[in-house]
A and B are shown apart, each in its own frame.
Chain A
Amino acid sequence: MREGKKKIEQAARRWEAEVLKPRLERFNLEKSPTTFHTPLTTNGSRFLEKVGFPGQYPFTAGNHPFEFWRAHAKTAALFGFRPDWGGAGGVGKYGGFGTPADYRDYLLRMQSMGRRGGPNIAFDLVTQCGFDSDSPYAEGEVGRVGVAVDSLRDFSVIYEAYTGELDIDRVPSNFTINAPAAVIIAMYACLAKKRGIDLARLKGTPQNDILKEFIARGTYIFPPGPSMRLFRDTCVFCCRHMPSLNINSIGGYHIREAGATRTQDLAFSLANGIAYLEAGIEGGLAVDEFAPAFTFNAFGGSMEIYNEIAFQRAARRMWARILKERFHARDPRSMMIRQPITAHIGCSSTTLQRSLNNLARAVIGGMAAGMSGGIPGAYPPFDEPLGLGHSQEAVQLQLDATRIMIYEAKVADVCDPWAGSYFMESLTDRTEEDALAELEKVERMGGAVAAIENGYMPRAVAKSAYERQKQIEAQEELVVGVNCFTGANEIDVSINRVVEATYDPELMKTAEERQKASLARLKRERDGRAVTTSLNNLKGHARDHDRNLMPAICECVENDATLQEICDVLREVFGEAQPVKL
C-alpha cells in the first residue's frame, strides 16, 4: 500500500475515463452494474482497531481462530457421525409435535437413526402463549407447531428419551420459549432435581428473548415492562444456579423474517441485547458474571451474500464495543456474539415456486456463513415453504450440501477470508454506521422497551416488509421463478418426497384430545391444596418487584401447577400485552 494515495487516485481517474466509460457507452449504461474497490475505499489501514485477529477484540474476524466443530470436522466425516450441521452444533434438529409422548417416541426413532444431539424443543403456540391444552384459545392448536407442555409431568415425558449417555447433564437442550421461559426453565431445574442431577451441570439454551416477540414473532403474554422483570429473574437464577446454561438466544433472525431491513435487524437486536444486559445489572449481577452466557440466534437472513458477510463482521465488532466501552466488561467472552447458526438466507428468501431452487439458495447462505466465522450450513431445507415440517429427503440434501461446502469446497479453511478486502472493509464500516444511527434513534426514545411500547420498532418492521413486497412487485428486486424467468420454457423440477411424513398425521389429528385427557388426569391426581398454596405464594412474590420469582415458580412447577395456572397468576398481577395496530 506504499504506492501512495495520490498515485492510486490518478490511476482510478484514468481507469474510469479509459476503461469504464467506453464500456458503459458500448452498453448504453449511465451507471456501472458492478462496483470495484481499491485502497481508496477504506480510510486507511486501521487493521488492529477495526479487524484484529480472530479470537481477539473487536472480534471482527471471528470469535476464535477456529470453532469447535471445525476441530472435529475430519473425525466426524471419517466416522460418519451425523451432527446436524444444517444448523446448530451440539444440539439436535429443531422439532416438536403432538403430545409429549408422541414427541418422545419421535426422538427415540431419530436416535435409532443416529441422531445424538440434545432436544431442541419447539413448543406449540398454546404453550408459547401461556395457555393450557384445555383452554378455549387452544382449540385446533394443540401439538400443531410444536409439542404441548402443560406441566412438569409433560416435560418429564419428553425427557424419557434422554437418559443414560444422553442424560441431561450430558447433552444440551434448547427451548424455543420466550414469554413463559421462566416456567420452562423451572421445569428443567425440577427435572434435574428429580433425577438427582446437580443444576450446575445442566447445559442448554432457552430462547428467553421476549423483546423480539413484540417486534416480530408475536408470542408475548405480559406487557414489555413486567416481561423484562421475568427476564431479569431468569437471568439471575441461571447465573447463580445453572452457570453452564445459556441465559438467552437473542434473535436477529425473527426480526429480519418479519420484514426488517438489515440495518433495522442489527440495530433492534443490539438494542434488545442492551436491555437484557441492563436487566441483569438491575438484578445485581456484574456484567462479566452473566454476559458470557448470552447467545444470539442466526443473525442474518437474506440472499445478499456480501452484505450478510459484512453484517456478521459489523455485528461482532459493535457488540464487542458496546460491552467493553459501555458496560465495562473485561472478560472477552462477554464481548462475543455466540450463535449456533450465523449467516443464512432466511426462510423468507425461499420460494414456493420451483422450490428445489431453495437448495441452491441455501448454499449461498452457507457460503456467507462459512466465510464469516460460522458453520457453512445450508439452511433451511428446500421444502421449507411447502408446509410445516421438513421431509427427510430435504434434510438429507441440506446436510449433504453443508458437507460439500466443508469437505469438498473447503469453505471453512480460512478465517475471515475477506479481511483487508477494500470492498468488504468499507461495506462492514457502512453496515456498522447505518446500524449505529438506527440504534441511536432507538436509544433516544429510551431504549428497546420504550421503542416497543410506543410502537416504533414493530411498525418500522411492518413498513419495511411492505416496501420489500413493493420492490418485488415492481421488479426492482428480482426473485427467480417468482417475478422473472417464469415463461413457458421454464420447467418445474420436483423430487419425490416419499419418506413418511416427519410427524405422523394420524397422531397430529388426535393429539389435542389425548393431551386434554392427560391434563384432566393430572388435575384429578395432583394435590390441589399444594397447587393453590404455591400459586398464592407466587402472586405475593409477583407483587414485589424486587423479589426474584424463580423460587416461587419452581415451587408451583414441582407441585404440578400447570403452565397456564402460573401464567394466569402473573397475568393478574402484570396485566396482558396488547396487540400492535398498524
Chain B
Amino acid sequence: MVHDSKIRVLIAKPGLDGHERGAHVVAYGLRDEGFEVIYTGLRQTPEQIVSAAIQEDVDVVGLSVLSGAHLSLTSKVMAGLRAKGADDVLVLVGGIIPEEDRKALQEQGVSGVFTAGSSIKDIAAFIRSRVRTGE
C-alpha cells in the first residue's frame, strides 16, 4: 500500500479500564505531530479494535491499558490483526506495564511499549522510524 498522506494512528482503549488520560494525551499529541489520529473511546473489545483498525486503514494501533489486563487484551488484538491479514500494522502499548511484561508483549508482536513518563516526541519519532511514508 502506498502512503501518500499522513500516517494513520488508531488509539484504542481495550477492556473495561476507564483511565483515559494517557490515551487522550497521546491522541492530541500525535495529532499535533502531524498524524491522522482516530480515538475509539472507552471499553472497546479486541474485535471492535481490529475492525476499526481495518476500516480506518491505519498504520499504527496504540493500545492503552492501565488495568493489568494488557497481556490477554493485547494478544487478542494481535491475533485479530493477523487473522485479517493486517499484521503489517505497527502495534504499540501504553499504560501501566510492569517491566517483566515488556518481553511478553514484544513476543506477541508489539513493537513498542510506552509507559508513564514517555514523551509524545519519542512516540512520534518511534512511529516515523517504523512506518515509512511517501514511498
**Is A141 a contact of B117 with CB atoms below 8 Å?**
no
A463 near B: Cβ within 8 Å? Answer: yes
Q: Which residue of A lies closest to B15 (CB)?
A: A141
What are the residues of chain B within 8 A of A219 when measuring CB–CB? Answer: 16, 18
Q: Interface stretch among A58-66, A345-353, A363-371?
A: A345-353
With beta carbons under 8 angstroms apart, the residue of A131, A218, A258, A469 that contacts B17 is A218
Q: Which of A218-276 contact B (CB under 8 A)?
A: 218-219, 257-259
Q: Show the binding face of A for B, using Cβ within 8 Å.
A: 125-126, 128-129, 131, 136-137, 139-141, 144-145, 213, 217-219, 257-259, 348, 351-353, 385-388, 462-463, 465-466, 469-470, 472-473, 482, 578-582
**Is B68 a contact of A388 with CB atoms below 8 Å?**
yes
**Is B69 a contact of A144 with CB atoms below 8 Å?**
yes
What are the residues of chain A within 8 A of B34 when measuring CB–CB? Answer: none
Q: Which residue of A lies closest to B100 (CB)?
A: A387
Most chain A C-beta atoms within 10 Å of own C-beta, residue among B15, B16, B45, B115:
B16
Q: Which of B46-104 contact A (CB under 8 A)?
A: 67-69, 71-73, 96, 98
With beta carbons under 8 angstroms apart, the residue of B28, B67, B116, B121 that contacts A463 is B28
What are the residues of chain A within 8 A of B36 when measuring CB–CB? Answer: none
With beta carbons under 8 angstroms apart, the residue of A126, A258, A385 that contacts B116 is A385
With beta carbons under 8 angstroms apart, the residue of B41, B115, B121 that contacts A579 is B41
Encoded as 1 (CB less than 8 Å from any A CB) or 0, chain B from 101 to 135 comes to 00000000000000111011100000000000000
**Is A351 a contact of B68 with CB atoms below 8 Å?**
no
Q: Decide yes or no: A387 and B17 within 8 Å by CB, A465-B24, A469-B25 being known contacts.
A: no
Given A125-B16, A388-B96: 18 more A-B contacts, CB < 8 Å: A136-B45, A137-B45, A140-B15, A145-B67, A217-B18, A218-B18, A218-B20, A219-B16, A257-B21, A258-B20, A351-B117, A353-B117, A465-B24, A466-B25, A470-B29, A578-B41, A581-B41, A582-B27
**Is A469 a contact of B16 with CB atoms below 8 Å?**
no
B19 near A: Cβ within 8 Å? Answer: yes
Task: Report how many A-B pairs have Cβ atoms within 8 Å.
Answer: 97
Q: Complex: how many Å from CA A137 to CA B45?
A: 7
B39 near A: Cβ within 8 Å? Answer: yes
**Is B96 a contact of A465 with CB atoms below 8 Å?**
no
Sample of 10 A–B contacts (CB below 8 Å): A125-B17, A126-B16, A141-B16, A141-B67, A144-B68, A219-B16, A258-B21, A351-B116, A462-B21, A470-B29
Q: Complex: how many Å from CA A386 to CA B27?
A: 24
Q: Complex: how many Å from CA A137 to CA B72?
A: 12
**Is B24 a contact of A473 with CB atoms below 8 Å?**
no
Q: Complex: how many Å from CA A145 to CA B121?
A: 31
Q: Complex: how many Å from CA A351 to CA B116?
A: 7
